[in-house]
């Protein structure tokens, strides 16, 4: 409705002003959403060491502490027919190559039958007391399905393979990229050869930087 003389009423002018304010707010909110979405995507982990996981006691920890080293990531189990053989050989490899340049990183998983039924702390205590394991054992995780642990999903996505049983092994280089994987029946000697090459490269690089 217009006032006499063709001028807009005060109410219509107020509505027009309010519309402009609301439009401006909407545009600002849209811009903020786009910026936030872009930042969120830019923060998406790009390598294995960019992730956080939980240790056997449920404490959140960053895998960044292993950046610059070689890691052998393994889905372990306490009650598998492969447990004794693998825990022994993994501990030997962990001790041989040393934690300065190499670590075995164990992720218990309960999705393969009844081979890992205890709590994360039970699993850690079992491995320590029965096999003298000194390498890190993290909280029990899921590898398959929508609840898969993000750090381990990065591993399986990298090689386009999901473990079909316990003790699959994935070799991660110092930059956090998966460079090789082995099924449980494959000999530890093959893994040792690949790991030694990466460890030697780290040592040579450090010497060149001195």
Together in a domain, 174 and 111 = yes
Residue 209 has a pLDDT of 87
Together in a domain, 21 and 100 = no
Together in a domain, 100 and 204 = yes
Residues 6+ apart with CB under 8 A from 184: 82, 86, 165, 166, 167, 168, 169
Model confidence, pTM: 0.79
Together in a domain, 173 and 185 = yes
Q: Tell whether the model's pLDDT for residue 23 goes beyond 80.
A: no
Together in a domain, 166 and 124 = yes
What is the total count of domains within the chain?
2
Between CA 74 and CA 96, with CA 47 as vertex, the angle to 5 degrees is 40
Together in a domain, 162 and 58 = yes
Average pLDDT, the chain: 88
pLDDT for 102-149, tens place per residue?
999 999 999 999 999 999 999 999 999 999 999 999 999 999 999 999
Together in a domain, 60 and 140 = yes
Query: Cα separation of 179 and 155, whole Å?
Result: 10
Residues 6+ apart with CB under 8 A from 112: 77, 80, 163, 165, 166
pLDDT for 88-98, tens place per residue?
999 999 999 98
Residue 24 has a pLDDT of 66
Together in a domain, 37 and 81 = no
Residue 4 has a pLDDT of 45
For a pLDDT cut of 90, what percent of the chain falls above it? Answer: 77
Q: Tell whether the model's pLDDT for residue 31 goes beyond 60.
A: no
Together in a domain, 155 and 89 = yes
Together in a domain, 40 and 52 = no
CATH of the domain at 160: 3.40.30.10
- Domain that includes residue 101, residue range: 48-209
Together in a domain, 158 and 122 = yes
Together in a domain, 131 and 85 = yes
pLDDT for 173-199, tens place per residue?
999 999 999 999 999 999 999 999 999
From residue 209, alpha-carbon distances to 68, 82, 203, 206 in Å are 14, 42, 10, 5
Q: Tell whether the model's pLDDT for residue 159 goes beyond 80.
A: yes
């Amino acid at each position: 409705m217009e006032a006499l003389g063709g001028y807009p009423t005060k109410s219509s002018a107020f509505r027009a002003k309010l519309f402009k304010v609301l439009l401006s707010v909407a545009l600002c909110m849209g811009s903020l959403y786009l910026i936030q979405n872009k930042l969120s995507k830019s923060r998406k982990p790009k390598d294995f060491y960019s992730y956080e996981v939980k240790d056997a006691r449920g404490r959140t920890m960053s895998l960044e502490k292993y950046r610059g080293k070689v890691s052998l990531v393994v889905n372990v189990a306490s009650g598998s027919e492969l447990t004794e053989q693998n825990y022994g050989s993994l501990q030997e490899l962990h001790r041989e190559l040393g934690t300065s340049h190499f670590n075995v990183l164990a992720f218990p998983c309960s999705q393969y039958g009844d081979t890992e039924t205890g709590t994360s702390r039970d699993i850690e205590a079992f491995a320590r007391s029965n096999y003298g394991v000194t390498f890190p054992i993290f909280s029990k995780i899921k590898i398959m399905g929508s609840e898969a642990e993000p750090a381990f999903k990065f591993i399986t996505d990298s090689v386009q393979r999901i473990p079909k049983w316990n003790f699959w092994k994935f070799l991660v280089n110092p930059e956090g990229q998966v460079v090789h994987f082995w099924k449980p029946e494959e000999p530890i000697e093959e893994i040792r050869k690949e790991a030694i090459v990466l460890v030697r490269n780290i040592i040579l690089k450090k010497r060149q930087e001195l």
